[in-house]
Structures are given as C-alpha cells and as structure tokens.
Chain A
Amino acid sequence: MLIGKLYLFAALKNHMTRILVTSLLSLLGFVPLCHSENTDRQPSIADDIPWFNITSHFSELHSGSMMGMAHASYGWELSKRHNWSVGIGYVPELSYHDEMYIFSGRYRYQRGSMYEFSVLNQQVRIRPGSFGMTFISGRDNDIYRELPDKYPDGYYYSTARRLIFNYQLNLLVNSRLEIYWDLSALDVGVVNYIRNNKFYRDNYRFLGLDGIFTYGFGTRWRFK
C-alpha cells in the first residue's frame, strides 16, 4: 500500500514537473502578447554608455538547433547590436532520445543593415547578418556537468556543457515581430571542420558546412 502511494507520488511529481516546465515555456513565449509598453521610462546612467545601453527587451520561442524541441528565452538588446538572452529548452522523450531539459545562455551580434523586398505586394525586411554563440547545459543522467568521482582529474571534459555557434537569417514582419531561420554548429563540429577541412568539403555540400550545421527556427518579440 505504502509502495503504491510512493509510486503514485513519484508519478504525480514527474507529471507536475512537466506541467510546470510546459507552463513556463508557454508563459515566456506568449508574454509579449500581454505586455504593455512603458513610454515613461526615465533615462538611466547606462544610456550614456553606448555598449551597455539597453535598447530593448525581447523574448524568443525557438525550435531545433540542438536547443530543444521548444526553447523559450528572454533577452536584452544592447545598442541595437548586442543581444544577450537566457532560456530553457525541453526535449520530449522520443524513440531515440530521453526526456531532457536544456538551459542556455546566448550572445548574438546583429548587423544593422536590412534589405527590403516586395513579396506579393507586401514589404518584407530581411536582416542577413546575425551571428552568435550559445552556451548550453543539458540535464540528464547519461551526461555530466562535473566529472564523476570515478575518473581521475581532467580525464574528460564535461559532456553536458557545450558551445553552439549560430547564424540567423531574420525576417522582420513589423517593428516588433521577427521570425528567423537558424543554423547551428556544435563546438566539436567547428573543431572537426577546421582540422579536417578537406574531408568535409569532399563529403558534404556547401563547402562541407552541410556536415556540421543543423537548423532551427523561431520567433522573436521585441518589447519596445
């Protein structure tokens, strides 16, 4: 009886964790819809320091690029060029993958230049130059952040913490809403590509980049 209750408790706890994370992801993704702009903001000292001048806040809902099936993040745009964000991603249990959470910290540099096109009588703006780096940390039993005690010091690097290099093509729907396509390469992929450049060029398309990049897509809402 007691064991039965414990099982029930464990199952509910697991279920509640999923509900909590899913709710958090949804909130982060849809916060912009409930946000009202504060037009009376007082100038701050940071405004005088160009690099630290927070020009806007934004939130993103992203999928793929090795950051989870759904990844929600919140970020700060500094001087309209430098974007910092933190987020959490969810990887559901699939036939080839355990359930997992991925935490992220991302820096993205975006060039200001934009190009306008007319598509079906609709003006579309594209920002082609957006590059970044994302630090991710996975949470699962088979990967580790700190080297387990059984290994001698320095035997392996962490398998749960990785660096991802991103390129984004941004489509600006209006002054607040963007959708983007994202290409990501893992740290180990970049190292391999540099070391084995001929191998990748010979075996994969697009100068071999096809071999190391994966894609993702997402939407970004700018608060002001």
Chain B
Amino acid sequence: MIRCLFASIFLFLITSCKYAVSPWETNLDCPQIWVPTNIERIKQLEQSQGAKDHFKVAVLGDPQMWPGDLQTTLEILNRRDDVDFIFLLGDLVEIGIKQEYEWICKALSHSNMPIVSVIGNHDSLSYGKEIWKENIGPYDFSFEYQGTKFIAYNDNKYEFSNVPDREWLATEAQGFATRNHTIGASHIAPWDNDLDLSNYLKSVGFDHMIHAHLHRFDYWQLTNVDLPHYVVADIKEVNFAIMTVYPNSIEIENCTPDCTPAQMRTR
C-alpha cells in the first residue's frame, strides 16, 4: 500500500508539472489567442457568410481569477448560433504572470468562435506587456466586419505613457461616413478626469464605445455628447453582453446569463 502511494506521488512528480525558474517567465504557448489570427478568422467568416442585415458580437471583460466562469460563459456562447465573434475587453489576468495567462488560455480554448482581446491594466503588470506583445498581439488594432469598423485601443494610463494615441484613433476612424458604424473598444472608459475624450472620439467619427474595468454593468453617455459608452461587468458568475449591430442602430443586452436590454443613463 505504502509502496503504491510513493509510486503514485513519484509518478505525479516526474510526469506532471513544469519546471519553472521564476513566477515571472514569459514563454507562453497559446497560439489561439493571437489577435491577428483571430481577425483573419473573422474575415473568413464574413466571406463565407456574405452580407448580413445585422450581426451579434459577445462582449466579455475582466475574467482575471475566474477562468472557470470564463469557460462556462464560452460554453453558453458556443450553444448559441447567432454570435459571430467575441470581444474580450481586458484584464485577462490579475498580476501579469505566465501561469495566469496559461489558465485563461486553457479556458479560451473551449470557444469555437474567434476572440479578439484588448489589453487591460492588470494585463500589463510584471512582464505582462511582453507576454501580450509576443503572444496576444498589438495594443492598438482595428478591423472591419459587415460594414462596421472596430477600433481597439490601449487606454491604461498608469501603465503606459501617452495613451490613448489620439492621432492614431483619428486616423483609424477616417471614412466613418462611408460605414454603418465605427465602434471603439478599450478596457477603461474615459476617465472621470478626462471625460473630454468622449467628445474627442465623437468628433473624429466614433458612434459607439464598449469597455470593461468597472466590474459591473453600466451604459452611459454625456448629456452634451451623443456617444454611448457601454461597460460590461466582470465574468464572475457568468456575466457578459450581446451587442446586436444593425445598419442604423446598435442594441446591447446585459446577460447574467439570461439577457435583458441594457438601459442607458446620461451623466
């Protein structure tokens, strides 16, 4: 009996686990979350489906420390056949270490949809910036789908200097009049001490924004700026949003996991 116990422990010791010299390693192996590959999948989806009069996008945020609920959320989304892709709005991890990224990667491997991720403030901690650049993709990126342009940008002011890159945002938003929508996506909504950003984004052509970071649902626009900012709750206990994009309007539902229309407030 004791021999069997030792044999089991020894077998566990030598066959499982990885050798790690420190918690702060960066050699993540997770090709499925590489953003350029996922954007390519979205383009292929558009080509295979042709033009649609509307489409749905799942919006998720802040899965850090809750990979189990992230997996559950993805399995719920897999059972729906009306969602085209997923926007994951940052804070995939809590302290930016490789192991955390591996757990999130494992959870994301359960999705059968393309997933594009935006960097969050927690993702940038420790060697998180390096891990992100090498394994997930650029901090700022954009792509078009069904006549709508999605522009994702880094606005984590404490962790990066000179963000968001307003010049790049303006350049990317150019030609907005020829598109159905220009949707901005970032981890943090315009900060309270920088609400002028909302005005700026509207002025360069954005007509809707999606964010996370608050860990609760919110949906607001400034009284004098006609630009809605939607904030998705954290993934804990399965929270997400479904954004339905029509040619002339955008509807958002808060899902917990049952979905109800999000109500906008002015501030």
Interface set of A (CB-CB < 8 Å, partner B): 63-69, 89, 91, 94-97, 100, 102, 115, 117, 126, 128, 136, 138, 140, 142-143, 150-151, 155-157, 159, 162, 169, 181, 183, 186, 188-189, 191-192, 195-200, 202-206, 209-216
Given A159-B95, A195-B68, A198-B68, check contact A188 B24 (CB 8 Å): no
**Which residues, 14 to 40 on B, are CB-close (under 8 Å) to A?**
14, 16-27
Contacts of A156 in B (CB 8 A): 95, 122, 125
Contacts of A200 in B (CB 8 A): 68
Query: What is the interface of chain A mostly: helix, strand, loop, or mixed?
Result: mixed
**Which residues, 138 to 176 on B, are CB-close (under 8 Å) to A?**
158
Whether a CB of chain A sits under 8 angstroms from the CB of B250 is no
Contacts of A206 in B (CB 8 A): 12, 16
CB < 8 Å neighbour of A209 from B5, B16, B125: B16
Contacts of A213 in B (CB 8 A): 16-17
Whether a CB of chain A sits under 8 angstroms from the CB of B114 is no
Contacts of B12 in A (CB 8 A): 206, 209
A183 to B24, CA, bound (A): 17
A211 to B100, CA, bound (A): 10
Whether a CB of chain A sits under 8 angstroms from the CB of B219 is no
Contacts of B3 in A (CB 8 A): 117
Q: Are A128 and B9 in contact (CB under 8 A)?
A: yes
Q: Are A126 and B19 in contact (CB under 8 A)?
A: no
Contact with A along B94-107 (1 / 0, CB 8 A): 11110110110011
CB < 8 Å neighbour of A159 from B13, B69, B99, B125: B125
Contacts of B5 in A (CB 8 A): 128
Contacts of A143 in B (CB 8 A): 24, 126-127
Q: Are B21 and A66 in contact (CB under 8 A)?
A: yes
Q: List 17 A-B contacts (CB under 8 A).
A: A64-B20, A97-B27, A142-B126, A157-B95, A181-B14, A186-B99, A188-B95, A188-B97, A196-B66, A196-B103, A197-B68, A199-B67, A202-B71, A203-B106, A214-B19, A215-B17, A215-B18
Contacts of B4 in A (CB 8 A): none
B70, chain A: closest CB distance, angstroms: 8
A95 to B6, CA, bound (A): 37
A138 to B20, CA, bound (A): 14
A63 to B71, CA, bound (A): 34
Q: Are B6 and A195 in contact (CB under 8 A)?
A: no
CB < 8 Å neighbour of B6 from A115, A155, A197: A115
Q: Are A183 and B17 in contact (CB under 8 A)?
A: yes
Top 6 closest pairs, chain A to chain B, by CB: A199-B68, A196-B68, A96-B27, A214-B20, A210-B16, A215-B17
Contacts of B25 in A (CB 8 A): 96-97
Contacts of A215 in B (CB 8 A): 13, 17-19
Q: Are A188 and B94 in contact (CB under 8 A)?
A: yes
Given A68-B22, A156-B125, check contact A126 B6 (CB 8 Å): yes
A68, chain B: closest CB distance, angstroms: 6
Whether a CB of chain A sits under 8 angstroms from the CB of B45 is no
A206 to B14, CA, bound (A): 12
Given A143-B126, A186-B99, A188-B100, check contact A199 B9 (CB 8 Å): no
Contacts of A162 in B (CB 8 A): 23
Contact with A along B64-79 (1 / 0, CB 8 A): 0111110100000000
A97 to B106, CA, bound (A): 23
CB < 8 Å neighbour of B26 from A97, A115, A138: A97
A69, chain B: closest CB distance, angstroms: 5
